[in-house]
Amino acid sequence: MSDQNTYAGLTQLGQKADLPASPEQAVLERVPNPQADVDYCVRFTAPEFTSLCPMTGQPDFAHLMIDYVPDRWLVESKSLKLFLGSFRNHGAFHEDCTVMIARRLVELLEPRWLRIGGYWYPRGGIPIDVFYQTGAQPEGVWIPDQGVPPYRGRG
Amino acid sequence: MSDQNTYAGLTQLGQKADLPASPEQAVLERVPNPQADVDYCVRFTAPEFTSLCPMTGQPDFAHLMIDYVPDRWLVESKSLKLFLGSFRNHGAFHEDCTVMIARRLVELLEPRWLRIGGYWYPRGGIPIDVFYQTGAQPEGVWIPDQGVPPYRGRG
Amino acid sequence: MSDQNTYAGLTQLGQKADLPASPEQAVLERVPNPQADVDYCVRFTAPEFTSLCPMTGQPDFAHLMIDYVPDRWLVESKSLKLFLGSFRNHGAFHEDCTVMIARRLVELLEPRWLRIGGYWYPRGGIPIDVFYQTGAQPEGVWIPDQGVPPYRGRG
Amino acid sequence: MSDQNTYAGLTQLGQKADLPASPEQAVLERVPNPQADVDYCVRFTAPEFTSLCPMTGQPDFAHLMIDYVPDRWLVESKSLKLFLGSFRNHGAFHEDCTVMIARRLVELLEPRWLRIGGYWYPRGGIPIDVFYQTGAQPEGVWIPDQGVPPYRGRG
Amino acid sequence: MSDQNTYAGLTQLGQKADLPASPEQAVLERVPNPQADVDYCVRFTAPEFTSLCPMTGQPDFAHLMIDYVPDRWLVESKSLKLFLGSFRNHGAFHEDCTVMIARRLVELLEPRWLRIGGYWYPRGGIPIDVFYQTGAQPEGVWIPDQGVPPYRGRG
Amino acid sequence: MSDQNTYAGLTQLGQKADLPASPEQAVLERVPNPQADVDYCVRFTAPEFTSLCPMTGQPDFAHLMIDYVPDRWLVESKSLKLFLGSFRNHGAFHEDCTVMIARRLVELLEPRWLRIGGYWYPRGGIPIDVFYQTGAQPEGVWIPDQGVPPYRGRG
Amino acid sequence: MSDQNTYAGLTQLGQKADLPASPEQAVLERVPNPQADVDYCVRFTAPEFTSLCPMTGQPDFAHLMIDYVPDRWLVESKSLKLFLGSFRNHGAFHEDCTVMIARRLVELLEPRWLRIGGYWYPRGGIPIDVFYQTGAQPEGVWIPDQGVPPYRGRG
Amino acid sequence: MSDQNTYAGLTQLGQKADLPASPEQAVLERVPNPQADVDYCVRFTAPEFTSLCPMTGQPDFAHLMIDYVPDRWLVESKSLKLFLGSFRNHGAFHEDCTVMIARRLVELLEPRWLRIGGYWYPRGGIPIDVFYQTGAQPEGVWIPDQGVPPYRGRG
Amino acid sequence: MSDQNTYAGLTQLGQKADLPASPEQAVLERVPNPQADVDYCVRFTAPEFTSLCPMTGQPDFAHLMIDYVPDRWLVESKSLKLFLGSFRNHGAFHEDCTVMIARRLVELLEPRWLRIGGYWYPRGGIPIDVFYQTGAQPEGVWIPDQGVPPYRGRG
Amino acid sequence: MSDQNTYAGLTQLGQKADLPASPEQAVLERVPNPQADVDYCVRFTAPEFTSLCPMTGQPDFAHLMIDYVPDRWLVESKSLKLFLGSFRNHGAFHEDCTVMIARRLVELLEPRWLRIGGYWYPRGGIPIDVFYQTGAQPEGVWIPDQGVPPYRGRG
Ligand SMILES: [Ca+2]
Ligand SMILES: [Ca+2]
Ligand SMILES: [Ca+2]
Ligand SMILES: [Ca+2]
Ligand SMILES: [Ca+2]
Ligand SMILES: [Ca+2]
Ligand SMILES: [Ca+2]
Ligand SMILES: [Ca+2]
Ligand SMILES: [Ca+2]
Ligand SMILES: [Ca+2]
Ligand SMILES: [Ca+2]
Ligand SMILES: [Ca+2]
Ligand SMILES: [Ca+2]
Ligand SMILES: [Ca+2]
Ligand SMILES: [Ca+2]
Ligand SMILES: [Ca+2]
C-alpha cells in the first residue's frame, strides 16, 4: 500500500535542509494518506520546541503534542520538524503560538480533526499549558489522552 | 496575530511590582484574546500558593491549577502571579479561598468556562482538595484531566 | 465571605479533643457552606484509617478518600478527623464499614452528592477496595478520579 | 448492621483450610450483603494467581482484578482466595481461564454487575490481558479504572 | 469449554518455527473462541516490534498494543508473534505499517471490534504514534485505556 | 534444613492471638536461625504502625522498616506483628518509640546487626523520619537501601 | 524512657503560637534526647518553606530536608516549624538562607552531625539546590539519601 | 567464543520438560562460560516464584533476583527456570528457602561471587525480604543495585 | 550575612538583557560567596539547553545539571542563564560542548570542585550523556546523585 | 576546540549507510577526543538492540547502556549505531553478545575504562541482565549509576 513515488515531489526529505529563518519561510509538506479509506489518528510528540518571548527576547521552551485524524493527506515528518524548528528565533506569546501551529497544519492537511497540546516550561514559577482542537472528537475514532503529567514544582 | 500594543495599558508587566498586601488590593489585568475566534483552553499551574489559616494564623499551602476557555480576554500572567501572591498574609478557609479565586477570574475575564483545582497540603494528616467549575465542560473543547496524584501519606 | 462566627457553635475546633471511644460516640459537626450558591466538590484524603477485624480482633488499615458536593453544609474537618479516629477500637467488615462512614456523612450534611473509596491493606495477599456513591455524579460538577494506584504485590 | 451470625454457616472462615485440588472441588461461599439497599462496588486484587499451561504443563502467572456490584450476596473472601488457589495445578488457556473465574462468581453471587481483568505475565515476550464484564456498567454506580500500567519490556 | 483438539490443525504451535521472511509469507492462524457466547476483550502487548525504514533501510522500532473483541475466532498467539517478527526485514512507513497489521488481523478473525496502538521510537527527536480502530467501541464491553506514557525527551 | 519442631515452643503461631494491651505485655518470640552458618539480612516492612501522641492522645502513624543480620535467632513473624500492634494504645514520641522497638529486638535476638527506619506521617506539615542502627554495617553482608521516597506535600 | 516533664519548660508546644515576624525573633527550642546513649539520625522534611527574594521582594519557595545526629538535644518540632515559618516575610538569597538555617540549628543543638538540602523552585527556568553538611558523615550511623527527584522541566 | 556444541550434553534445553516434582528432583545444569577470562555479572529476575507455607500448606509468592559473577560455568537458563518451578509444591520458610536456592547454585557453579534477593509477598500485612551473598562484592566488578521498590501497603 | 552591595558591580541582574550572540560574547559574572567559611554544594538544573549540530546545522537539545563547591565566588545566576542561552546559535559536539561549559565556570569561579552532567536528547534513537568533574569529590562535602532517570525509548 | 576536519576520514557520517550484514562486517570508527586532557565519561543508551537466538533463530531484544572514559579516541556515534544494528541477523547468547560488544569497543578506543549493561527482554518469564566493565572505576571520574528499573512482571 505504501508507494515511494508518493514522495517524489518532496523538497526536504533525505536532503540536508537548513533550519528555516522563520515560520513564514518554513515549507510544510504533505504526502497522500496511504490508508485514507479508514479513520485513524497520528500523534507527534515534540519535546524540543523553542521560541522567543516577544516582550523580553529571552528563549521560551515547550513540550508540544499534536494529534490529527488525516483525510487525504499526511504531514511529511521532516518538514514538520523543520517548521517547528523555524520558531527558534521567532517571538510569539504562548497562547497565540500554540494555536497558530495548529492552524498552519489545518490549512495544509485539511484533516478530519486535529488538536495540539502546548506544555510550556515555567516562567515565574507558573507554567502555562494551551489546549486546542478543531472541534469535538470524531465519533468512533480512537484518540487516547496525551497523558502529560502535571508540573509539580520541587520536592 | 499577536500585537504588542495589546499590552500598552498594562500596569505591571515588565515592571518591578511589589506584592499586593491583600487580594482586595491586587489588580488582576486582562489582554485581548488573540485567537478569540476559536475555542481553546489555557491552564495555569501554581505550585507555590500560600495563605494563612483564619483560625490559627498559621500558614497554609496549596498547589493550584486553573483551566479556562477564554472568550474575549486572556488573563495577563504577571498580574495573576501577583494576585495569587497577595494571599500570603490573608486568612481564608480552604473551600472558600479556592472558589473565591475562581470567581475573581470569572468576573474579570467572563470566560466561556473556567475551573480551579485546589490541592491543599495536609493538616492533621488529612489534606483537603477543592474542585470548582463554572458549569459543564463546553462541548467540543479539549480540557485534559489535571492529573494530580493523590496524597499517599508515607511509605 | 467567610465568617468566623460561623464556627461559634462548634465544640471541638481549637480544643484539645479526646479520641471518641466509638463511632457512635463521635460527634460529626457541620458548618454553613460559604459558597453554597455554586456547585463544587470537596475531597478528603485520609491515609491513616484503622479499625479492628470483627472476627479476629486484629487491626485493619485503610486509605480512605471522600468526595462530596456540599449543599447547605460543610463537614467541620476536625470533627471528621475525630470521627474517623473513633473506629480505632471498633470492629467492622470492610464493605460494611466503608459504606457506613458515607452514610453518617450523608445524614449530617445532606449533600448534593457524596462518594467514598476505601482502599484496604491486604490480608491474605488479596486487598479489598470498596467504592460507594449516593448516585450518578451531578451534571456539570467537576469530580476528578481518585487515582489511587492499584495494589501490586512485590517486585 | 454487620452481624457475626451471618457467618455461622461458613465452612472455611477461621479454619485451617487445605488448598482445593481443582477449581471444581473448590467451594466458593457467600454471605448476605449488609448494605444491600445501596449500590456499591467491591474490588479484589489478586497478584498471586497461577495456573498451568494446558499445552506444556509449565506454570502461568497472572495479576487478577475483580470488580462487582453485589446484590443480595457478598463473596466470602477466604473462600475466594482458596478458589483462586485451586487453579495451581489446573491447565487452562488465558482467555478461557479468566472468563471462567468470572462466570463461577456470577453463578454464585448473582451480582448486579461484575468484571474481571486478567493481566498475564509475558510468554515469548508478548503478554496477554483479558477483560470481561457481564454488561454495560450500571448507571450511577462508581467503578474506577483498574489502572494497571502497561507492560513495558525492559529499559 | 476449552478443548485441546481445537489446536489440532495448527502448524506452528509447539514447533520450532523459523521467522517468516516477510509479512506476506507469515501465516496467521486462528482457533475457535472458547467463550464465544460473551463479549470480552483480549489485549496483546508487543514491545519488541521492528521493521525497516523504506527510505533509508535503517531499522525502526515500535511498541505495539492490540485490543480486540473476538467473535468466533481467537488469534493463535505464537502465529501472531511470528507474524509480527516477519516485519524484521520489511520496509514500511509508520502510519501504513500500523494500520496494515490491524487489517491482516481483521481479515483473519472477523472480530466484533479491533484496535491497534503503534508507539514508535523517536527519529529526529519526534516520535510518531498511530492509533487505529475498526469503529466505535462496542457498547457494554470493557476495554481499558492502553495507558502508554508519553515520550518525554530527557531530564 | 527447616524443622517444624523448631516451632514447638511458640505460644502464638497458628493461634488466634489477642492484641497485647501494651508493648510491655507483648511477648516477642524467637526461633533458631536455620541458616546460621552464613550471614544474610532479613527485612520486615510494616506499613501499618500506629501509636498515640503522649502529649495530645491523638493517633500517630508510621511506615516502619526493620533490617537485621541474624545470629542464632530469627524473630518469629507473628509475634513481631503482635508486638508492633501493641503500640496501638501506647503513647510515645517518634524518636523514642522508633529506637525503643529496635532495642527490644536487639535484646531478644542478639543479632549481628540491626537497623530500623521509622517514616512517620506528617503532623503540622512536616514529617519526621528516624533512622537507627546498632553500628556500622557488617562487612561483606548485603543490605540494600530501604528506598522509601521522600515526602512531597501536594502537587 | 520518655518523660513528659522533659517538655515542662517549653513555651510553644500545645499553645496557639503566632508566626514570628523574622528568623531573629523566632525561638528555636530543644528537649533532652531520650536515646542519647546511641547514635541515630532524625530527618525533617519541610515542603512548605517560603521566603522573599532580597532583590525583587517576590516570594521564593523551597522544599527543605534536614538530617541530624543528635547529641544531648533534640529540636522541639513545633518551634522548628515556627522558625521555618518566620522566613515568610524575610529576604535572603538561596545559598545564604539554606546554610543559615543549618547554622542556627547547629548553634542550638550542638549535634554530632547535621546537614540540610534546599531544593528551590525554579526561577527563570533554572532551579537551584543547595547542599550543606557540618562535615563527613559520622562512621557507623545510618543516614539514607534524601532522594528528591531532579527537576525535569515539562513533558 | 560461543559454541553450540557447548550445549550438546544438556538434557532439558529445547525439550518439552516437565516441571520437576521437588527441588531435590530438579536438575540444575551448567555450560562453560564463553567469556571466562573476564569478570562480569549475570542477573536473573524471576517474578514468578511460588512455594508452599510449611505450617499451613497455603501458597507463598516471591519476586526473586539472583546476581552472580561466573567463573568457569554459567547456569543454563532453562534448567534454572525448572529448578525454580520445582518449589511449586514444596514447603519452606522464607529465610530458609531463599538462602537454599543460593546454595544450590553455588554448589553447581562455583562462581566467583553470588547473591540472591527474595522479595516475598505480604502475609499478615508485613512482607519479609531476604538478602544473601557469598561474601563481599569482588573488587572491580560491576554489580548494580537490585532496585526493587519497597512495599508500600495502599494509597 | 547577605549584602546587597555585593551585587553593585553586576551588569545584568535586574536588567532586560539580550541573549548573547555566542558563548564567547556571553559575560559570566560572579559574586562573593556569603558562606565561604564552610564547604557546601550548589546545583543548577537547566532543562532548556539548546545548541546547533556542527555537521548539519540542526538544533540539539540537552538537560544540563551543574554541581559545584564554591570557594570565594558564586556564579551570578542570571549571567549563567544568559551564558547557557548563548549556545542557541552555536555549533558544538556533545562531548566537547558539555566539557567546555564546565571549563568556563571553573575559570571564572575557581571552585573547590565542579561537575557537569549533560543529558542529550536522542538522535538516531541513541542519546549521549556526558559526565565531567574536576577531580574526586572533596571529602566531607555532601553532593547527592543527580538522579536523572535513564532514557527508555517507548512503551 | 572542536574541529570539523577531525571527521575528514570518516566513511559513514553524513552518508546514507546500509546496515552491515554482520558484526564482523561493521566498521566501528573513531575520532580524536577533543577534551583528551581531562577525564570524563560518555554514555550511550541504545534501547533498540536486537539479535537472534542461536538455538531457535527467534529474535532477542535488549536495552543496552555503554559508559566509557575516553583516552585519545571517541567512538563516532553513527558507526556505533550501525555496528549495533549489524547484530540484527546474527545469533549470539546474551552473556556472550553483551561482553563481545564491549570488547570490540575496547579494541578500537583503548579507553581508560569502559562498561556495558545489557538488559535483555524476558524469555520464559525470566529476563537476564549482563554487566561488564574493564576493571574498577577510575578514581576521581564521575560515572553515575545506570538506573534501569528492575523487571517487575505484571500488575
Ligand atoms: Ca491505502
Ligand atoms: Ca487572532
Ligand atoms: Ca459565600
Ligand atoms: Ca511482581
Ligand atoms: Ca444493611
Ligand atoms: Ca525499552
Ligand atoms: Ca526535560
Ligand atoms: Ca541450616
Ligand atoms: Ca509540591
Ligand atoms: Ca534514654
Ligand atoms: Ca521534556
Ligand atoms: Ca500508605
Ligand atoms: Ca557569611
Ligand atoms: Ca519498550
Ligand atoms: Ca581539547
Ligand atoms: Ca505483580
pLDDT per position as a tens digit, C128-142: 999 999 999 999 999
User: H22 CB near a chain D CB, below 8 Å?
Assistant: no
Residue I149: DSSP 8-state: P
pLDDT value at residue F13: 62
CA distance I95 to I104: 15
Contacts of E74 (CB under 8 A, 6+ apart): D95, E30, E31, E32, E33, E34, E42, E109
Q: Which residues contact C133 (CB under 8 A, 6 or more apart)?
A: C113, C114, C115, C116, D40, D140, D141, D142
Q: Distance from CA of residue C93 to its chain's centroid?
A: 16
Contact in structure between D90 and D60 (CB atoms under 8 Å):
no
Spans of chain C below 70 pLDDT = 1-9, 13-16
- Between residues J19 and F69, which one has the greater pLDDT? F69
Domain G28-133 indexed as CATH 3.40.50.1390: no
pLDDT at residue G124 in the model: 85
Summarised one tens digit per residue, pLDDT across range G52-76 is 999 889 999 999 999 999 999 999 9
C59 with F18: Cβ contact below 8 A = no
| C19:F59 CB<8 A | yes
Inspect the interface and report whether the beta carbons of J40 and I99 lie closer than 8 Å.
yes
I14-35 confidence digits (pLDDT tens): 566 788 999 999 999 999 999 9
List chains touching I (3+ CB pairs under 8 A): A, D, E, G, J
Is residue D35 within 8 angstroms of chain C, CB to CB? Answer: yes
Burial of H91-116, coded b for 16+ CB within 10 Å and e otherwise, reads bbbbbbbbbbbbbbbeebbebbbbbb
Residue G57 class from Cβ within 10 Å (0-12 exposed, 13-18 middle, 19+ buried)? middle
CB atoms within 10 A of CB E64: 25
Residue F148: list chain H partners with CB under 8 A. 150
- In a mutational test of the J interface, the residue from I22, I130, I132, I134 whose CB has the highest number of chain J CBs within 10 Å is I132
User: Rounded CA gap, C23 and A105, in Å?
Assistant: 61
F34-133, what's its fold? Answer: GTP Cyclohydrolase I, domain 2 (3.30.1130)
What CATH code is assigned to E35-47+62-77+93-133? 3.30.1130.10
Least confident range of A2-6, F108-112, G43-47: A2-6
Check pLDDT > 90 for residue G6: no
CB-CB neighbors (< 8 A) of I152 in chain J? 47, 63
Q: How far is CA A155 from CA C146, F154, G30, G67, G152, in A?
A: 22, 9, 27, 16, 12
Instruction: Pick H43 or B14 by higher pLDDT.
Output: H43
What are F20-30's pLDDT values in tens digits? 999 999 999 99
Using CB atoms within 10 Å of the CB of residue J8, give its burial: 0 to 12 exposed, 13 to 18 middle, 19+ buried.
exposed
C-alpha cell at B122: 495536609
Ion ligand 6, residue ranges at CB < 5 A: D 155; I 153; J 47, 63
E strand or H helix at F108 = helix F94-109
Between CA D125 and CA D153 the distance in angstroms is 8
D155 touches chain C (CB under 8 A): no
pLDDT of B15: 61
pLDDT of residue B140: 93
B55: which chain C residues are within 8 Å (Cβ-Cβ)?
Answer: 4, 7, 13-14
Amino acid G1: pLDDT? 39
The verdict on whether residue G75 carries a ligand-binding annotation is yes
Q: Which CATH number fits domain A29-133: 3.40.50.2300, 3.30.1130.10, 3.40.50.20, 3.40.50.720?
A: 3.30.1130.10
- Strand bridging mode J73-75 / J59-69: unpaired
Nearest to I42 by CA among I77, I16, I11: I77
pLDDT at res. D75: 97
Say if C53 is an interface residue toward chain B (CB within 8 Å).
Answer: no
Architecture of domain D25-133: 2-Layer Sandwich (3.30)
- Compute the distance from residue H146 Cα to the ligand 4 centre, in Å: 14
Q: What is the pLDDT of residue I18?
A: 85
> Cβ separation of A59 and I18 shorter than 8 Å?
no
Residue J4 burial (10 A CB sphere; 0-12, 13-18, 19+): exposed
Q: Cβ contact (<8 Å) for F93 and G2?
A: yes
Does A155 contact F at CB distance below 8 Å? yes
| F2 in a labelled binding site | no
**Ligand 3 center to B93 CA (angstroms):** 12
Give the model confidence (pLDDT) of E12-34 as tens digits.
765 667 889 999 999 999 999 99
On whether any CB of chain C is under 8 Å from the CB of J153, the answer is yes
Q: Cβ contacts (< 8 Å) between E151 and chain I: which residues? A: 154
Q: H-helix or E-strand containing I46? A: strand I40-52
What are the backbone angles phi and psi of residue I38, rounded to the nearest 5°?
-125, 160
What pLDDT score does H14 carry? 59
Q: Which of the ligands is closest to the CA of residue J34? A: 15
CA–CA separation, I22 vs I5, rounded Å?
29
- In B, minimum Cα distance to F58 occurs at B124
Known binder of ligand: residue J77? Answer: yes
Task: Kindly state the average pLDDT of the residues G109-125.
Answer: 96
pLDDT of residue I2: 42
CA of E149 to the centre of ligand 11 (A): 13
Burial class (CB in 10 A: 0-12, 13-18, 19+), A43: buried
CATH code: domain C26-133 is 3.30.1130.10
Q: Report chain J's C-alpha Rg in angstroms.
A: 16
Give the residue ranges of chain E where pLDDT is below 70: 1-9, 13-16
Range scoring the smallest mean pLDDT among B81-85, D7-11, F150-154, I44-48: D7-11
CA distance G45 to F152: 8
Please give the distance, rounded to the nearest whole angstrom, from the Cα atom of residue G34 to the centre of ligand 10. Answer: 4
Q: Does the distance separating the beta carbons of I150 and D153 come in below 8 Å? A: no
Asked if residue G77 belongs to a known ligand binding site, the reply is yes
Supply the DSSP symbol for E106.
Answer: H
**How many CB pairs (< 8 A) connect D and E?**
99
D131 to E43: CB separation less than 8 angstroms, yes or no: yes
* Distance separating alpha carbons of residues F78 and F17, to the nearest angstrom: 9
Tell me the average pLDDT across G113-140.
95
- Cβ–Cβ of D128/E44 closer than 8 Å? yes
Task: For residues F42 and H132, give the distance between their C-alpha atoms in angstroms, rounded to a whole number.
Answer: 9
Catalytic one of E18, E41, E60, E145: E60
- Quick check: H155 and B125 in contact, CB under 8 A? no
Higher pLDDT: E5 or D41? It is D41
- Dist. CA E88 → ligand 16 center (Å): 31
Contact between chain D and chain C (3 or more Cβ pairs less than 8 Å apart): yes
Q: DSSP strand E in E1-155: where?
A: 30-32, 40-52, 59-69, 73-75, 113-120, 128-133
pLDDT at D7 over 70: no
Choose the closest CB to F153 out of B61, B124, B155. B61
Is the Cβ–Cβ distance between A155 and B78 less than 8 Å? no
Residue D44 confidence class, pLDDT cut points 50, 70, 90? very high
With beta carbons under 8 A apart, name residues in chain D contacting J155.
47, 63, 119, 148
For residue B32, list its beta bridge partners: B73
Whether the Cβ atoms of residue B25 and residue B90 lie closer than 8 Å to each other: no
Q: Which of G16, G43, G58 to mutate to test the interface with B (most CBs of B within 10 A)?
A: G58
pLDDT at F56 > cutoff 80: yes
Question: Which residue in A150, A151, A155 is closest to F153 by CB distance?
Answer: A155
User: Distance, CA E82 to ligand 15 centroid (Å)?
Assistant: 50
ipTM confidence score: 0.91
Going from N- to C-terminal start, the domains of chain I cover 34-133
Give the residue ranges of the annotated binding site of D for substrate.
Answer: 75-77, 94-95
Q: Looking at F41, F60, F67, F97, which residue is catalytic?
A: F60
Q: Which of C150, C151, C155 sits opposite J152 (nearest CB)?
A: C155
D85 → chain H, closest CA residue:
H59
Answer for the pair D122, E121: CB distance below 8 angstroms, yes or no.
Answer: no
User: Which fold would CATH assign to domain B24-133?
Assistant: GTP Cyclohydrolase I, domain 2 (3.30.1130)
Confidence of residue D155 (pLDDT cuts 50, 70, 90): confident
Decide if domain H30-133 falls under CATH 3.30.1130.10.
yes
Q: Over its length of 155 residues, how does chain J's per-residue pLDDT go in tens digits?
A: 344 456 666 777 656 678 899 999 999 999 999 999 999 999 999 999 999 999 889 999 999 999 999 999 999 999 999 999 999 999 999 999 999 999 999 999 999 999 999 999 998 899 999 999 999 999 999 999 999 999 999 88
Which candidate from H57, H61, H85 shows the least CB-CB separation from D48?
H61
Q: Which pLDDT score, from 0 to 100, does residue G3 have?
A: 46
8 Å CB contact between G118 and G67: no
Report the separation in Å between the CA atom of F37 and the middle of ligand 8, taken as the mean of its atom positions: 7
Instruction: Return d(Cα C128, Cα C95) in angstroms, integer.
Output: 8
**What is the pLDDT of chain D when averaged over all its residues?**
92
The answer to whether A155 contacts chain B (CB < 8 Å) is no
Q: How confident is the model at residue H3 (pLDDT cuts 50, 70, 90)?
A: very low
Would residue A60 show up in a list of annotated catalytic residues for this protein?
yes
Share of chain G above pLDDT 70, in %: 92
With CA atoms as reference, the chain C residue closest to D37 would be: C99
Pairing of strands F40-52, F59-69: antiparallel
* H or E stretch covering D48: strand D40-52
- Cβ-based neighbours of G123, under 8 Å, separated by 6 or more: A124, A125, G60, I77
User: Greatest CA separation found in chain C?
Assistant: 53
Who has greater pLDDT, D16 or B36?
B36
- pLDDT of the residue at F7: 63
pLDDT tens digits, one per residue of A7-63? 666 777 656 678 899 999 999 999 999 999 999 999 999 999 999 999 889 999 999
pLDDT at residue J102, rounded to an integer: 98
User: What pLDDT score was predicted for residue H1?
Assistant: 39
pLDDT band at F135 (very low <50, low <70, confident <90, very high): very high
**Which of G47, G122, G155 minimises the CB distance to A155?**
G47
CA dihedral angle for residue J20, residue J21, residue J24, residue J27, rounded to 10 degrees? -10
Tell if the CB–CB gap between J126 and H46 is shorter than 8 Å.
yes
Q: How far is I130 from chain D (nearest CA, A)?
A: 19
Beta partners for F126?
F123
Measured distance CA(E4)–CA(E132) in Å, rounded: 33
Report CA(D51)–ligand 16 centroid distance (Å).
15
Contacting chains of F (3 CB pairs or more, <8 Å) are A, B, C, G, H
pLDDT of res. H7? 63
Q: Which residues contact B70 (CB under 8 A, 6 or more apart)?
A: A95, B33, B36, B40, B42, B109, B111, B112
User: Could you say which of F39, F53, F71, F129 is catalytic?
Assistant: F53
